[in-house]
Amino acid sequence: MIITEIKKGDKIKSNQLGVETSAVVMESIKQGKGFKKILLVDVKGSEIGLFDETGSIYTRQITKVFRDNNWLQVEHLPTKFNELNFEL
């Protein structure tokens, strides 16, 4: 799954706390004609002995998305056009 397919309300796994934890996306990744690099999520820190809190994370910290009763790996897009490695 590509990172740009994430929607508001999706369940995700992210590694911003050092270990993979669950979270729920609170806003859409789409912003005008582009995509956000930082998302607001509700992190379930109680899974690892911390508090559940809402906060912002970088999209590159998202590792999996829950769709169709499966955890799907997330593919991250390059941030700059010259990182796409096109051959002309």
Who's near 6: CB < 8 A, 6+ residues apart? 12, 25, 29, 39, 59, 62, 65, 74
Residue 88 lies in a domain: no
| Number of domains, the chain | 1
Per residue in 36-75, pLDDT tens? Answer: 889 999 999 999 999 999 999 999 999 999 999 999 999 8
Q: How far apart are CA 25 and CA 38, in angstroms?
A: 11
Helix, strand, coil share (%) of the chain residues, nearest 5:
15, 40, 45
| Confidence band for 80, pLDDT divided at 50, 70 and 90 | low
Mean pLDDT of 2-10: 91
For residues 10 and 65, is the Cβ–Cβ distance under 8 A? yes
- What are the phi and psi torsion angles at 33 (to 5°)? -95, -5
Residue 76 lies in a domain: yes
Residue 47 lies in a domain: yes
Residue 40 lies in a domain: yes
Percentage of residues in the chain having pLDDT higher than 90: 65
> What is the structure's pLDDT at 81?
47
> What is the structure's pLDDT at 1?
85
